[in-house]
Structure 1
């Protein structure tokens, strides 16, 4: 269905408003500010504001554990051994080292984030790339091609009268249009000139987490963890209430009347404490004879072990669902876990991170293709086969990495540059090493040409090609040649 620009804008804003409540709730879970669940309304009313929720913030742990393993290190054209310096310059000029991490985290938390590519009038050779939150942007895909058909970005700022003014940017395949809300209606913003870029493609790329065939918008990484986290927060809060009222010994008094309960000023107070569990009292002790009698009995304190066991069981379920190693959730055993066992326990987490690298690597490659198109004015065919370079998502020790890389290089399975990449060096570090290698080789060559034979000490000694070497058969007689002639 064809829509006008204003119809697209209103449609996208309506769809965005419908999902913003869920997105804000997901964001609250990451910040540890989610509402308390599973607590009885009667208990909440009785506790009033005296008890705060104890937050066991497992959703934040789940998101951070994956995001910490997602670092882009460069882009490589097909057939090239090294990362492309120009693409990395554009990346660094837009501070995407920092913005990419924030985009990855928001996608893990709120199902998706967005990357917008545009021209920068102040720097024509450096396209402008920004990473945007799902709280500010929304896109709609073409059901046939699954490409982005239109996108909107919304924000508010203080106007001249001090009131908030709503702004929006509409992104379409061939134009970008800015709008402002005036007297409750959206109109084109006179401060911005529309950009008829004629790209044929919306300059917005979606970083969707766990995109599926019927759910291209993604799924929050901790959707399955939220019910368990809510349960843990409720149990932890109950544990604190029990620690206040039942984990210390309590007393009950028999044979006291209400007139016996006064404060330090002599004013009468209630015989029954309004705070649950402090003291139970009765006026007469039935077993103390006809005249009654005063008596005070102390109850034993309650154990909190049942709360500990429940939280530990919930933690095991979270580790299973999220693929987290046990030590991430504080599990400890009497025998220290070996380094190999720790790395083995991280295998599922590493695989999840590698899946993100594959999916989001394609998104970042599309971002760089758009950047080249905006800079050059034409699509680069070679850029269709761009490769995103990621840092190793696993955590092997330096000694293990060095041993494995050295063996592969010695066996001539991989070249020196790949060996250095396997060691975890960045592209900038590798290029600096290669420059130093070239300078050292040039220096050695110049020394040899100048007659400094000591420059050959580190290399193999040259052998006369036509003379038999020691212990090799003489070509004429077939007898071995003795050492020394």
Structure 2
């Protein structure tokens, strides 16, 4: 079993495995950034057009990833069996700027199959462990084939060196009981630091996108979109070439030569006049002029629209996201219906990523406390609703459920999208309002004139005497 390897052997094993998949990860990253190479065009044409050929990038891969990522917002954590919220975990989350870090991790996981989160101790504040989101381009983890849990991981990075020197290559090896830092010196990895924490847990968590039974490390959302995106970029590039050669009018003339086209000083016309005019010449004896009919680009438009429909069917994106708009604006119900698949896909990602972030926060508790509280096993991730109802619709539904007693106040606040900090402030405001009401009732009781037994209370006969004290207030005070 590979668990018996020493740190240096582990390092070489993980680096070799990571290097094997780096070309694929870099290609996926290029597609997300829109810097992929041009496909489906003959090399001879590319050579002939040379630097005049620029690819028109229709970046559907980025659209597919961002449309899902925009619906993956974490709003807090809660212990399912012991209270509404996990405020201590949310403080750790905020201290590590994971509102932004989690979004970056989700983008990388959707595009590159997976991202990682690494947990470590904080030398400046022991109560706040350090949590960082990491890219699959720099981190790789190996899983135990029996348990499917990570058993070792490596992170590689380069640090700038002095002027003229090569960057310094570093690697951090993570094992269940230790963390070992290496530096590459004269072509060999040399251990420079070791931290034996003895926690018995690998402090690296994989955030895999669409993991499968045989591919636990995930699948990229771009896999099914890349061929269609390549085709769309090719068609769009051809359309621009066609616009230059066939859309602008092409004129012809007979009985003239190229030397006849000059300005008043005898200088030949510039390249723009020659190229834009596209004059075809024939040096015959009879002078004639004419114009060829320009071409239409509707075939390119129809092809692009068909490719966009295929992307919509494969990814669940609403047609409007891909520019397939209709003449009649859709109704609100039609918009929600068109987003049904996208919403469901986002909810599936919330379930998978949520499990990963729960493991991250359990590791943070383990690093902070040295042991894991049993209640952390019931930790849950609170996500923002992936659907897009209007706030008025949601508020109306939540208010009705709360008024009927089905929904507690805390859950109503959470369903309305209030953050953990906002809910804390609202609780404090409720307590303050209740304290003021109680103080007002007690003050009214203490300042009210005494009443004679059997006599009506002051003001009961409609007079304008001192304000009467409700009987329930007195009873409440006695109770």
| Residue 170 (1) aligns with residue 173 (2) | yes
2:37 to 20, 35, 38: 35
Q: Pairwise mapping of residues 233-252 of structure 1 onto structure 2 (< 5 A)?
A: 233-252=233-252
**Would the aligned equivalents of 2:249 and 2:277 in 1 still touch at CA under 8 Å?**
no
Q: Whole-Å Cα distance in 2 between the matches of residues 264 and 3 of structure 1?
A: 85
**What residue number does 1:366 align with?**
359
Q: Whole-Å Cα distance in 2 between the matches of residues 275 and 143 of structure 1?
A: 64
**Would the aligned equivalents of 2:235 and 2:304 in 1 still touch at CA under 8 Å?**
yes
| Residue 380 (1) aligns with residue 383 (2) | no
C-alpha displacement at 1:160, in angstroms? 4.2
C-alpha displacement at 1:462, in angstroms? 5.4
User: Any stretches of 5+ residues in structure 2 without a counterpart?
Assistant: 449-466
2:128 to 126, 129, 136: 126
C-alpha displacement at 1:267, in angstroms? 7.6
Q: Pairwise mapping of residues 91-240 of structure 1 onto structure 2 (< 5 A)?
A: 91-160=93-162, 162-189=165-192, 193-240=193-240
**What residue number does 1:406 align with?**
399
C-alpha displacement at 1:79, in angstroms? 2.3
- The range that moved more, 375-384 or 253-262, is 253-262
Instruction: Give CA-to-partner distance per residue, 1:452-475, whole Å, 9 cap, x none.
Output: 79xxx9xx995999xxxxxxxxxx
C-alpha displacement at 1:360, in angstroms? 0.8
**Would the aligned equivalents of 1:168 and 1:179 in 2 still touch at CA under 8 Å?**
yes
**Would the aligned equivalents of 1:245 and 1:277 in 2 still touch at CA under 8 Å?**
no
2:426 to 404, 408, 433: 433
**What residue number does 2:8 align with?**
6
Residue 296 of structure 1 aligns to a residue whose secondary structure is strand
Q: Pairwise mapping of residues 284-303 of structure 1 onto structure 2 (< 5 A)?
A: 284=284, 292-303=285-296
- The range that moved more, 170-179 or 413-422, is 413-422
**What residue number does 2:283 align with?**
283
**What residue number does 2:329 align with?**
336
Q: In structure 2, do the counterparts of structure 1 residues 435 and 255 end up closer, same or farther at CA, with 3 Å as the change threshold?
A: same
More helix by share: 2
Q: Whole-Å Cα distance in 1 between the matches of residues 276 and 151 of structure 2?
A: 60
Q: Whole-Å Cα distance in 2 between the matches of residues 242 and 31 of structure 1?
A: 26
C-alpha displacement at 1:426, in angstroms? 1.5
**What residue number does 1:396 align with?**
389
User: Any stretches of 5+ residues in structure 1 without a counterpart?
Assistant: 285-291, 466-485
Q: Whole-Å Cα distance in 1 between the matches of residues 214 and 279 of structure 2?
A: 59
- The range that moved more, 303-312 or 75-84, is 75-84
Q: Pairwise mapping of residues 465-484 of structure 1 onto structure 2 (< 5 A)?
A: none
C-alpha displacement at 1:451, in angstroms? 1.8
Q: Whole-Å Cα distance in 2 between the matches of residues 51 and 279 of structure 1?
A: 22
Q: In structure 2, do the counterparts of structure 1 residues 442 and 464 end up closer, same or farther at CA, with 3 Å as the change threshold?
A: closer
TM-score (norm 2): 0.88
1:420 to 413, 416, 425: 413
**What residue number does 1:47 align with?**
49
Q: Whole-Å Cα distance in 2 between the matches of residues 274 and 48 of structure 1?
A: 19
Residue 256 of structure 1 aligns to a residue whose secondary structure is coil
C-alpha displacement at 1:362, in angstroms? 0.8
Q: Whole-Å Cα distance in 2 between the matches of residues 141 and 353 of structure 1?
A: 26
The count of residues paired between Structure 1 and Structure 2 equals: 449
Instruction: Give CA-to-partner distance per residue, 1:336-382, whole Å, 9 cap, x none.
Output: 11112111211111111111111111111111111111111112211
2:299 to 301, 306, 310: 306
Q: In structure 2, do the counterparts of structure 1 residues 262 and 40 end up closer, same or farther at CA, with 3 Å as the change threshold?
A: farther
Q: In structure 2, do the counterparts of structure 1 residues 259 and 201 end up closer, same or farther at CA, with 3 Å as the change threshold?
A: same
Q: Whole-Å Cα distance in 2 between the matches of residues 122 and 86 of structure 1?
A: 18
Q: Whole-Å Cα distance in 1 between the matches of residues 190 and 416 of structure 2?
A: 55
Q: What is the root-mean-square deviation in Å for CA atoms of aligned residues?
A: 2.6
